Amino acid sequence: MQPFAEWEVVLHGHRQIYRTAGSGPPVVLIHGMVNSSRHWEEVAMRLARDHTVIAPDLIGHGDSAAVRGDYSLGAHAASIRDLLAVKGIERATFVGHSYGGGVVLQFFYQFPQRVERIALVSSGGLGHEVSPLLRSAALPGFSGVLAAGAHPRVLRALRGAGDRMRERGSSRGVYLQAIARALRPLEQGGAREAFLQTLRAVIDIRGQRVSARDRLYLLSGFPTMIVWGDRDRTIPVQHGRDAHDIIAGSRFETLPRAAHFPHLEDPDGLSALLRDFIATTDPGWIDDATWGDLISPHVRHSPRRHKRSAAA
């Protein structure tokens, strides 16, 4: 069997792919938009020395079914919950990259009792700003542009230009390679439609329109690590620093060699941070009663005063 073995499960009538490796305490890796579970392989194999690693293809991504349906953060979180339930995994450490970070945060909000630790890697949902390319993808008619950009000849040209620029020492080469890597899975029409539905659920022309910042206080004291690539031009590193300031007791780390895809650009560095984070923290625990205790100090109750109508 392959080290990072691929499995298929049918959930609610739809095909979902996941990859798994290793044995030990479970770690769940959630990819970002236009990525898939296979992009976690180098990190997964390093973590698999001491852990059971599970990396699903989100619905509409990778080799999972691209269906006409709900591509919200909550729907992805519920799908992951169901997959883990089928696997018999009650609690795990969750790692989310980019859009996957938003999914992990949503999973925590919906199913906190199933989460032991959270690691957010160049995460979405922590601020408004995002790259112009992603904002443009929210515009009507972008599907045609996406189809042209995902053409094999265009992808080869982008990769070639990125390689040449990196050889000359230009940091823009990393960015071109990242664009080519992001576009590659979108050669099929169904994948492009799923990508656009997913993106438009969280991003519009003005930037990220879904934010987790108003509930980050719930993670205070909970084992949380935030990791960013120093050269990230897709989501500003300041988002990570701001989230770290809000989440009391959190860790914040940067990877100098990485841009927006640390799991691909510096898998050794990211894996070392994750392994240390897991080894040096105790699993968090939140049940329904504790959840209420976390929220209550931030809730204000007051009697509502009804305005009298002009006719009264």
- Strand order, beta sheet including 5-11: 5-11, 14-21, 52-56, 26-30, 92-97, 115-121, 224-229, 251-255
Say what the pLDDT of residue 1 is.
47
Q: pLDDT, tens digit, for every residue of 32-75?
A: 987 889 899 999 999 999 999 999 999 887 778 677 677 889 99
CATH number, residue 122:
3.40.50.1820
Say what the pLDDT of residue 287 is.
87
Residue 293 lies in a domain: yes
Residue 247 lies in a domain: yes
Q: In the 8-state DSSP scheme, what is residue 101?
A: H
Burial (CB < 10 A; 0-12, 13-18, 19+), residue 26, is buried
Taking the C-alpha atoms of residue 227 and residue 28, their distance in angstroms, rounded to an integer, is 16
**Structural domain of 46:** 5-128+210-297
Residue 188 lies in a domain: no
> Do the strands 203-204 and 115-121 form a parallel or antiparallel pair, or are they unpaired?
unpaired
Residue 136, CB-side half-sphere exposure with 13 Å CA sphere: 9
Which stretches of 142-285 are DSSP H helices? 142-149, 152-167, 172-183, 189-200, 237-246, 262-265, 267-279
Residue 139 lies in a domain: no
CA distances from 244 to 30, 219, 221, 222, 234 (A): 20, 10, 12, 12, 19
Highest average pLDDT, of 160-164, 165-169, 294-298, comes from 294-298
Lowest mean pLDDT among 35-39, 134-138, 173-177, 183-187: 183-187
Say what the pLDDT of residue 188 is.
62
* Six token digits for residue 94: 């969750």
Q: pLDDT, tens digit, for every residue of 190-242?
A: 667 777 778 888 888 888 888 899 999 999 999 999 999 999 989 999 999 99
Nearest CA-CA partner of 197 in 105, 106, 78, 66: 66
Q: pLDDT, tens digit, for every residue of 114-162?
A: 999 999 999 999 999 888 878 887 777 676 666 565 666 766 777 777 7
Say what the pLDDT of residue 65 is.
67
Say what the pLDDT of residue 98 is.
95
Lowest mean pLDDT among 13-22, 167-176, 201-210, 299-308: 167-176
302 pLDDT above the threshold of 70: yes
Residue 92 lies in a domain: yes
Taking the C-alpha atoms of residue 15 and residue 10, their distance in angstroms, rounded to an integer, is 5
Taking the C-alpha atoms of residue 121 and residue 251, their distance in angstroms, rounded to an integer, is 12
Taking the C-alpha atoms of residue 66 and residue 193, their distance in angstroms, rounded to an integer, is 8
**Portion of the chain with pLDDT greater than 70, in percent:** 86
Domains of the chain: total: 1
Taking the C-alpha atoms of residue 112 and residue 283, their distance in angstroms, rounded to an integer, is 12
Residue 84 lies in a domain: yes
5 pLDDT above the threshold of 60: yes
Taking the C-alpha atoms of residue 262 and residue 269, their distance in angstroms, rounded to an integer, is 8
CA distances from 80 to 27, 58, 86, 154, 285 (A): 13, 8, 10, 34, 19
Say what the pLDDT of residue 115 is.
98
Say what the pLDDT of residue 167 is.
79
> Is the model more confident about 1 or about 44?
44
Residue 270 lies in a domain: yes
pLDDT (average), residues 76-95: 96
Residue 181 lies in a domain: no
Taking the C-alpha atoms of residue 80 and residue 166, their distance in angstroms, rounded to an integer, is 37
> Is the model more confident about 292 or about 282?
282
Active site residues: 98, 232, 260
Please give the mean pLDDT across all residues of the chain.
87
Say what the pLDDT of residue 175 is.
60
